Amino acid sequence: MFDLFSSLQTPTAQAADLRHVVLGTPIAAAVQPGQGEVLFGCGCFWGAEKGFWRLPGVVTTAVGYAGGRGADPSYQQVCTGRTGHAEVVRVVWDRAQVGLSDLLKLFWECHDPTQGDRQGNDRGSQYRSVIVVMDPADRALAEASREAYGALLSKAGFGPITTEISSAQAFYFAEPYHQQYLAKPGSRPYCSAQPSGIRLGEFPGGSYSLPAEIWQSYDWSLPHCVLRGDNAPIRLP
């Protein structure tokens, strides 16, 4: 089996000891057989992480940085735009419960992947749209979904997708206070994502595991839909 966790940097001592505030799982746990791992960048990682931890079958999530120069950057360094890192969410999922197709559907629908180096009011290369797959077999599916969603956006009058898709880049855990930020008391309710309103349907190679009812919990026509939603995982009907 491809060693998914081998592509990650060793987590800091702080990250290694942290448990997910909502799911209760270790945020830096190694990926187990039958699980998958992917990194998603879609604007500010606070709101993006909440969107993914709510999906049934997600084992754990964490926020961090990927795709830049230099090891273990700080939030302040990434915010300068000089390191080239993007804010990303690490998602580990149980392949028997939820598919990569489901995760890709949430990724494409939760933001506007045509905005380049920004998302909404957040501007800078750290907010660019990215997908980093750790298992080479997952890359073809990510690329097929990008092509299909790009065609849908084009028909709706949007520009070309700017999302980068790459394989096995190093991931650096963000500082502890960023982890599951929106689930913590006193957090500032903020999400810069600007969903296009276009839904991803069937696409070549895609196969959805979750029932259609799940997606009713994400109403992208509402401003800041993720902030309005409960922190708890969505229950299967």
User: Which residues are the active-site residues?
Assistant: 44
Phi, psi of 171 (to 5 degrees): -115, 135
Q: What stretch of H or E contains 38?
A: strand 35-42
Domains and CATH numbers, the chain: 4-217 (3.30.1060.10)
Per-residue pLDDT tens digits for 2-50: 333 344 566 777 788 899 999 999 999 899 999 999 999 999 999 999 9
Q: What pLDDT digit, counting tens, does each position of 169-196 carry?
A: 999 999 999 999 999 999 999 998 999 9
What pLDDT is recorded for position 2? 33
Check residue 121 and report its DSSP letter: T
